[in-house]
Structure 1
């Protein structure tokens, strides 16, 4: 039950973090600078918590030499996933940018659990668990795209965008989206094992965030992006635009705690349910300067289908 509460909470925070970082991007002018800023804030936050928790930020060198090389890649995979979404959005649009990585996350999560990859707890794939995963995926598709389908049928929305996308090799971008989802599930599993090795979930989250921050600093330096803060629409910058990194840090920390308890596959799908709920509420109420987009009944149905799917995976 604790894992479910943690997963729903950190999943709920993800779209909030996205909205916050989108606002931060408006002020700093670059998605990479915004990501670097967010990661840096998260790293500092986790460093403080780690110092209070275990009184050190370091660990024995013997851990580096005795553990597999992939143990330290969690932060890098997080950066790749984040950058991948930035690149996918203009090619696939908002709906497929969500659905394709989700498909990759679910597939990879079930495979990781079935074979115990990255030292994750083994949970063999059964027909019922597979059915639950398919229900979760169907629920995601209905929640994300269902309202658009209805609007398209009633209003006959122009299909020009879809036709334009074909020239970019749409299926290659879809495959890229699935791959980013696979990498995200791998990050979840890797960070979970890192927490076990370091005997501290907080310490593991700090190390993962630190790796991601260093990677983004290198990217920004290579691209020679300016570090600046501009006012948007002649208004002052809100204080909360700096909080995205803290939410991201809590997300990584929550995953580190969850994976040893329930496995990668279930951790991924629980977070997805929380993510969809948070996204719908942001749309409904227009939180954090987001445009209001009232929830439709079909989206609620999609959430319920996802919850049923999680039940199948959890119970069976």
Structure 2
């Protein structure tokens, strides 16, 4: 039970990280430069944690004889991050949330059922499928899908909006695939932690790979290095730099939980925490977000997500 609570807490940090990175992007001007800064902060935080907790750096030689995909966690993280940048303006907020989460749940259950990436095998039963469906239904309620369907002009990603057509389905499929990559990253980092015998070291390597990939992207794109104060603001808030630290907590949490409770349940409890954190930020207008009080439908959606996780964990 404590592992489930820890997973929810890990998920809670993600909306805070998103707000922090979004604010950082305003000051540096480029999403890739903001991501690079965030990944670098996370890497340095994990390096300090590894030296403090493990008293040694992870030994890459331990991966000798193991599959090369053990090193792909950082790359998958960058792909997921980049996918969100491209999906939002084409699909809108609703589908950008729902489609990747759907992909995460599907891939998480598949990884557990088929024991992909050397994950512990957990057979897909009717109960687990019911729990997954409850979780997805809860997400739909938590993001206010009913209101969005009644007012499609509010969200460019719904039917009848500009850009609708056959090409839109390609982006929708990309959204599901991005979610599947995210679940794969969870399993990969979890297995890397098992091989290295340290979840913190696995998270450090994942962030190191991510920093290298993002640095190449920034250099290849000749992105100007800058730090400015956006117009209308007196200074940059200190909290815009904590995105990397929270991202480090998230990656560590995934690497720690996946071998213990399985990839599928790890994905679900983190999604529950993510949606709960998002609603709290919106409801109270935290971190500069516009205040949007939670609706009854959103609260019921969150309760449905809790039920979904409980069904899988307790039955």
Do they superpose with TM above 0.5? yes
Which stretches of structure 1, 4 residues or more, deviate above 4 A after TM superposition? 156-161
Match of 1:180 among 170, 178, 181: 178
Alignment of 1:18-57 (within 5 A): 18-57=18-57
Q: CA deviation at 1:179?
A: 0.2
Q: CA deviation at 1:235?
A: 1.4
Q: CA separation in 1, counterparts of 2:161 and 2:55?
A: 57
SS in 1 for 2:227: coil
1:195 pairs with one of 193, 196, 215: 193
1:170 Cα deviation from its structure 2 partner: 1.1
**1:9 equivalent in alignment to 2:12:** no
1:151 is displaced (CA, Å) by 5.8
How large is the RMSD of aligned CA atoms in angstroms? Answer: 1.6
Q: Deviations 1:128-187 (Å, cap 9, x if unpaired)?
A: 1111101111111111133624763xxx85788743121571111000000000000000
TM-score by length of 1: 0.95
Q: 1:4/1:230 Cα in 2 relative to 1: closer, same or farther (>3 Å)?
A: same
Q: TM-score, normalised by structure 2?
A: 0.95
Cα contact 1:147–1:296 (8 A) shared by 2: no
What is the correspondence of 1:1-316 to structure 2 with a 5 Å cutoff? 1-61=1-61, 63-146=62-145, 148-149=147-148, 152=151, 157=153, 162-167=160-165, 169-232=167-230, 233-316=232-315
User: How many aligned positions are there?
Assistant: 312
8 Å contact from structure 2 (residues 63, 196) kept in 1: no
Distance 1:158 1:250 in 2: 34
Deviation for aligned residue 1:10: 1.0
SS at match of 1:213: helix
Secondary structure, counterpart of 1:163 in structure 2 = coil
Partner Cα separation in structure 2 for residue 167 and residue 124 of structure 1: 38
Offset at residue 57 of structure 1 (A): 2.2
Structure 1: gaps of 5 or more residues: none
Q: Which string of whole-angstrom CA distances, capped at 9 and with x for unpartnered residues, describes residues 238-265 of structure 1?
A: 1111010000000000111111110000
CA distance in 1, matches of 2:300, 2:266: 22
Separation (CA, whole Å) in 2 of partners of 1:199 and 1:34: 31
Distance 2:20 2:155 in 1: 31
CA contact (8 A) 1:284 1:292 kept: yes
| C-alpha deviation, 1:38, in angstroms | 0.2
> Deviation digits for residues 77-134 of structure 1, max 9, x if unmatched?
0000000001000000011000000000000000000011111111100011111101
- 1:16–1:147 distance in 2 versus 1, CA, 3 Å: farther
Residue segments in structure 2 that go unaligned for 5+ positions in a row: none
- Between 106-115 and 168-177, report the one with greater CA deviation: 168-177
User: Partners of 1:72 and 1:160 in 2: how far apart?
Assistant: 37
